[in-house]
Structure 1
Amino acid sequence: MKALFIISYFFMKEFFLQKVQETRKLASQHQFSIAEKKLQELLLTPSISKNEKSLILKELYQINLRAGKAHKAINHLESLALESKEEPLYWLELYNLSESLGETDKAIRSLEKYIENEPECSPDIYFNLAYNLKLSGDLKKSLRTYQKSLNKDISAQEEVYTNIGVIYSELREENKAIESFQKALELNGMHTPALLNLAGIYEESGEKKKAIPLYQEVLSIDSKNSLALARMAHMYTAKNQSDTRIKNISVLLNSQNLSDAENEELYFALGKLYDDCQLFSKAFSCISQANNIGRKRTIYYNPIEQEKLTDDLINTFSKEWFTVRHSQNKSTPIFICGMLRSGSTLLEQMLCGHSCILSTGERDFVVRKIEEMRGGYPQSVLKKDSNYFTKISKDYFEEIGGIVSGEQFIIDKRPENFLHIGLIKTAFPKSKIIWTRRNLLDNAISIYFQQLNKNLNYSFDLEQIAHFYSEHIRLMKYWESLFPGDLYQIQYEDLVTNPRTAIGSALNFLGLCWDPNCLEFFQRRNHVKTASIWQVREPIYLSSVNRSNNYLEYLTPLNLKRFLK
Structure 2
Amino acid sequence: MPPARGQEARSDAERRAARGHASSEVLRLASNPAIQHAIGALQARRLADAERIVRQHLSRSPRDVAALCLLGDLAVRAGVLSEAETLFRRALEQLPMFAEAQVNLARVLSQRDALPEAIGLLDDVLHDQPEHRHLQLLRLAWLGQLGDYETARDTYPELLERSPDWPEGWTAYAHLLGTLGDLPGAVTAYRRAIALAPHHGEAWWGLANLKVKVFEAADVEQLRALTNETGLDGERRSLLHFALAKALQDSRDYDSSYRHYVAANRLRKVLLPAPVDPIRAEVDRSICFFTAERFETASRAEESSSGPIFIVGMPRSGSTLVEQILASHSLVEGTSELPYIPMLVHRLMSERRGEGALRFPEVLDGVPTEKLAELGQAYLDAARPHRRSDTPFFIDKLPDNWRYVGLIRMILPGARIVDARRGAMACLWSNYRQWFARGQEYSYDFDDLVEQYRQYLRLMAHMDAVAPGAVITVQHEDVLDDSEREVRRLLARLGLPFEPSCLEFYRNNRPVRTASAQQVRRPIDQSTREDWKNFRPWIGELEDKVASLTNVRR
Q: For the superposition of Structure 1 and Structure 2, which TM-score range results when normalised by the shorter chain?
A: 0.7 to 0.9
Residue 542 of structure 1: aligned partner: 526
- Show CA shifts across 1:77-96 (max 9, x none): 23424523686554466567
Query: Which of 83, 93, 97 in structure 2 is aligned with 1:116?
Result: 93
Residue 53 of structure 2: aligned partner: 76
Pick which of 336-345 and 110-119 moved more. 110-119
Give the 3 Å change call, closer, same or farther, for CA 106–327 of structure 1 in structure 2.
farther
CA drift at 1:449 = 0.7
CA drift at 1:204 = 0.5
Matches within 5 A, 1:342-361: 342-361=317-336
Q: State the AA in 2 paired with 1:147.
A: D
Pick which of 375-384 and 424-433 moved more. 424-433
Give the 3 Å change call, closer, same or farther, for CA 88–468 of structure 1 in structure 2.
closer
CA drift at 1:135 = 5.5
Give the Cα–Cα distance (whole angstroms) in 1 for the partners of residues 481 and 323 of structure 2. 17
Matches within 5 A, 1:23-38: none
CA drift at 1:247 = 1.8
Q: Is residue 263 of structure 1 aligned with residue 247 of structure 2?
A: no
Pick which of 126-135 and 219-228 moved more. 126-135
CA drift at 1:99 = 7.0
Higher relative contact order (CA 8 A, sep 6+): 2
Q: Is residue 480 of structure 1 aligned with residue 464 of structure 2?
A: yes
CA drift at 1:297 = 2.0
Residue 416 of structure 1: aligned partner: 400
Q: Is residue 381 of structure 1 aligned with residue 364 of structure 2?
A: yes
Q: Is the 8 A contact 2:323 2:395 kept in 1?
A: yes
- Show CA shifts across 1:152-184 (max 9, x none): x22633333222111111111112222343342
Give the 3 Å change call, closer, same or farther, for CA 385–128 of structure 1 in structure 2.
closer
Q: State the AA in 2 paired with 1:334.
A: I
> TM-score normalized by structure 1?
0.81
Query: Which of 197, 203, 219 in structure 2 is aligned with 1:245?
Result: 219
Q: Is residue 335 of structure 1 aligned with residue 310 of structure 2?
A: yes
Give the 3 Å change call, closer, same or farther, for CA 82–168 of structure 1 in structure 2.
farther
SS in 2 for 1:543: helix
Give the 3 Å change call, closer, same or farther, for CA 297–244 of structure 1 in structure 2.
same
Give the Cα–Cα distance (whole angstroms) in 2 for the partners of residues 404 and 175 of structure 1. 12
Residue 323 of structure 1: aligned partner: 296
Give the 3 Å change call, closer, same or farther, for CA 272–77 of structure 1 in structure 2.
same
Give the Cα–Cα distance (whole angstroms) in 2 for the partners of residues 252 and 203 of structure 1. 25
Query: Which of 368, 384, 388 in structure 2 is aligned with 1:401?
Result: 384
Pick which of 384-393 and 305-314 moved more. 305-314
> TM-score normalized by structure 2?
0.82
Structure 1 spans left out of the alignment, 5+ residues: 1-54
Give the Cα–Cα distance (whole angstroms) in 2 for the partners of residues 486 and 327 of structure 1. 11
Give the Cα–Cα distance (whole angstroms) in 2 for the partners of residues 443 and 288 of structure 1. 17
Residue 197 of structure 1: aligned partner: 172
Q: State the AA in 1 paired with 2:55.
A: E
- Show CA shifts across 1:235-275 (max 9, x none): 574499x6222122112112113111111111111111211
CA drift at 1:526 = 1.2
Counting matched residue pairs gives 508
Give the 3 Å change call, closer, same or farther, for CA 189–102 of structure 1 in structure 2.
farther
Residue 119 of structure 2: aligned partner: 143
Give the Cα–Cα distance (whole angstroms) in 1 for the partners of residues 122 and 200 of structure 2. 27
Query: Which of 272, 292, 296 in structure 1 is aligned with 2:270?
Result: 296
Give the 3 Å change call, closer, same or farther, for CA 395–70 of structure 1 in structure 2.
closer
Q: Which of structures 1 and 2 has the bigger CA Rg? A: 1
Give the Cα–Cα distance (whole angstroms) in 1 for the partners of residues 326 and 64 of structure 2. 59
Give the Cα–Cα distance (whole angstroms) in 1 for the partners of residues 481 and 270 of structure 2. 38
Give the 3 Å change call, closer, same or farther, for CA 420–175 of structure 1 in structure 2.
same
SS in 2 for 1:434: strand
- Show CA shifts across 1:350-370 (max 9, x none): 122122222232112211111
Residue 132 of structure 2: aligned partner: 157
SS in 1 for 2:269: helix
Give the Cα–Cα distance (whole angstroms) in 2 for the partners of residues 59 and 411 of structure 1. 48
Q: State the AA in 2 paired with 1:306.
A: I
Taking only aligned residues, the RMSD between alpha carbons, in angstroms, comes to: 3.3
Pick which of 450-459 and 496-505 moved more. 450-459
Residue 466 of structure 1: aligned partner: 450
SS in 2 for 1:336: strand
SS in 1 for 2:419: strand
Give the Cα–Cα distance (whole angstroms) in 1 for the partners of residues 342 and 401 of structure 2. 8
SS in 2 for 1:355: coil
Give the Cα–Cα distance (whole angstroms) in 2 for the partners of residues 96 and 416 of structure 1. 27
SS in 2 for 1:116: helix
Q: Is the 8 A contact 2:311 2:398 kept in 1?
A: yes
Matches within 5 A, 1:159-238: 159-235=134-210, 237-238=212-213
Q: Is residue 564 of structure 1 aligned with residue 549 of structure 2?
A: yes
CA drift at 1:453 = 4.7
Give the 3 Å change call, closer, same or farther, for CA 430–309 of structure 1 in structure 2.
same
Q: Is the 8 A contact 1:204 1:528 kept in 2?
A: yes
Give the Cα–Cα distance (whole angstroms) in 1 for the partners of residues 417 and 520 of structure 2. 21
Give the Cα–Cα distance (whole angstroms) in 1 for the partners of residues 407 and 85 of structure 2. 30
Give the 3 Å change call, closer, same or farther, for CA 393–235 of structure 1 in structure 2.
closer
Query: Percent of aligned pairs with the same residue?
Result: 23
CA drift at 1:282 = 1.2
Give the Cα–Cα distance (whole angstroms) in 1 for the partners of residues 157 and 239 of structure 2. 26
- Show CA shifts across 1:370-418 (max 9, x none): 1112151101111211111211222222233352755633322222222
Q: State the AA in 1 paired with 2:422.
A: R
Q: State the AA in 2 paired with 1:391.
A: E
SS in 2 for 1:399: helix
CA drift at 1:132 = 5.1
Q: Is the 8 A contact 2:332 2:392 kept in 1?
A: yes
Query: Which of 428, 440, 449 in structure 2 is aligned with 1:444?
Result: 428
SS in 2 for 1:217: helix
Give the 3 Å change call, closer, same or farther, for CA 61–511 of structure 1 in structure 2.
closer
Q: State the AA in 2 paired with 1:246.
A: V
CA drift at 1:487 = 2.5
